[in-house]
Amino acid sequence: MGVTWWDPWDIGDGTIGQRYGATVKRYDLIHNLIDDIRKDPYGRRKVVSLWQENDLRETPGLAPCAFLTMWNVRGNYLDMSMIQRSGDMLTASGAGGINEIQYAALLMMTACTTELKPGIFTHFVANEQIYDRHMENAQELLRRAEEKKQRETSDASDKQPALILAKAPGCPFEEYTIDDFEMQNYDPVRPQLKFELGI
């Protein structure tokens, strides 16, 4: 699919081992979750765990960072809590990082498939870090945030960025594509910062 950020964790066979998507597929975790939401919406056992000891022992590779989600139906809404054992604040697990965007999209897709509305997304990171090699970029991000704060006015027309999923309720989970998502009101700051990967 052209995704290259996993390349540094390649175990030598073009994969990151029996992890993440391979674990989801092996145990049919997403379909099991969707079936449970439909059959027992108010049940309290909607847990998806990517931390499977057999999988971790089967192949070398990165142990899952974002490894556990818990799901709850609240009226017409589907809420999700995500537990992350470790996170790189500036690239993955901080506000707007790749982990948050991916799991927000997963919540939206699962809610749409089960004909619910995406509800509250709660993200807990047990060990959050900023690497030494990222300190200069961290200072730049703080400077940019302060500049933005000084530019902002009480203008109510200033809209926040939003990730929109354009699919009809009940869409089969397998039918989602990247083209179903749209970022609205996103105005990135230039130049884009580059972050050396911390492994």
Amino acid at 3: V
Burial label, 27 (beta-carbon count in 10 A; 0-12, 13-18, 19+): middle
Write the CA distances from 138 to 32, 97, 99, 190, integer angstroms: 40, 14, 18, 15
What share of residues in the chain are helix, strand, coil (percent, to 5)? 35, 20, 40
The one catalytic residue among 50, 65, 106, 107: 65
Residues 40, 42, 44: CA angle, nearest 5 degrees:
95
Establish whether 65 is a catalytic residue: yes
HEC string of 14-38?
Answer: CCCCCCCHHHHHHHCHHHHHHHHHH
| Closest alpha carbon to 169 in 116, 98, 105 | 116
Cis peptide bond prior to 64, omega within 30° of 0:
no
Burial label, 45 (beta-carbon count in 10 A; 0-12, 13-18, 19+): exposed
User: Annotated active-site positions, please?
Assistant: 65
